[in-house]
A and B are shown apart, each in its own frame.
Chain A
Amino acid sequence: MDSRGLPWRRLPLRTRVIGAFTLGAAIAALVLVVITYGLSRQSMLQQREESSERQFFANARQVQSSLRAEDPDFTQLLESLPSLSGSRSIIRTGDETWTSLSLTPSDLPPVLISTVLEFPQAQTMRYRLDDQPVLTFGLQMRPSAASALEGVAYFEVVPLAEVESTLESLALILLVGGVLTVLVGVGIGLWASGGLLRPLTDISDAATSIAHGRFDTRLEEVSDPDLDALVRSFNEMAAAMETRITRDARFSSDVSHELRSPLMTLRASIDVMQHRREELPERTRQALDLLNDEVIRFENLVQDLLDLSRSDSGPMQNDLVNIEELVRATLASSEATTSFEVSPNAQGALVMGDKRRLAQVLDNLLRNAEKYGGGPTRITVSSAGKNIEIAVEDSGPGVAPSERELIFERFTRGAAARKRGAGDGAGLGLALVDEHARRHGGAARVEGKPDGDSGARFVVTLPKAGRR
């Protein structure tokens, strides 16, 4: 199953950890609140009910005993009955009703009255009176045989408002407690995810640092056995890579020395001979020219190889380079004759980088156009979002779409180059363009001409630096 398809999985790890902690805390808080509230409510109501019931039966007994009198004075009786937390009493006979305090006869629900009069057992009923919750008890009274009274019943109305308000306060406290619990859950989630992700953040920082050329970057040792394995293998990898890169760099430096020193002798000797050209016989002169061309080619090849091996590792010069100036200076020092346009939004644009390497990028593109595209026809510098685009166009045969990636590889040459035979370049020029562009945080590509004409358009994009 593709777990990436789940929306949950698509969230960042940190969000998921925090989310899980929050959800857990919320569920725990909810369960706790519901149970606490439920139990409290039940026990408080029950307690209230039981004490009221005891009171009711005690009062009912008094009413019952008063019925033995010939003409009981119910008003006085009601006043004398003890009242528990605001409970009020009603005595009702067939046609008369005595109430204590502010009660009126209509305060009793008719259904309760009829039930009480029908059954000998005590009845209870919970309802709202004047918008206040009340619990009302009712019991049939048995008047003495001599009495003329009929349908006598005793009721007691017990207010529950107090209990309700206590429960409301409780609910509020529980709610606040629940919210706090969830917040604490979020807090723990933040803290735990921070701790959990810190090693990952460290590793990602270290990897970035290595990618930027600081090859001696290592992670700090940790005591956690799970993380330690990761840290150790990361450091081993970094060390192995550093060793390899330094070895390669030393190798290229040694090769550089070994190849360049004899070239110095060749170059100087050829110049000495060139100086005496006129003294040489025709055939020797021709041979000298061949030698000279080959030495130049060899020099370029060695230089390209060294630049490539260096762009793999060595640090770059970092200066603010004005692209327009760079292109003008490069054009001035090359033999190319081409039009040069800077779009208004790219005027004065700066790039952070190595002037000489950037010039080499452009120079290689010019040479490439010269060799295989019949010479560069147009150079444009334009702005594309956060990037500067330098494009070199020619009107040669263009580059087939299937070869557009390939020609930037080292030692590969496009069809146009192969046609010209083996002696004309090693296939490093465009590889250098690509390497240098990438070292500057940019990229190189080739495309067809925008106007659809025959020809190639080589584009180098470089990230803009801030203006100063």
Chain B
Amino acid sequence: MIVNIVVFFAVAMSVLFLVAWGLSKELRARIEQPKFDFLARLQQLESVSNTRSGSEGNNNVL
């Protein structure tokens, strides 16, 4: 019984994700957007830091 429940939820969750992914182009873009936002945030942070500290700072970043 428990196995069936686990398998059902596993399949349902996978289908839900894949259908959502396949049906909506906007949703695809929306789901992927945070990784670009995060990278932009990091790059902006690094540039501010570099501006403040000069060329010697953050020598291992990016």
User: A and B, one complex?
Assistant: no
Binding site for A on B (CB under 8 A): none
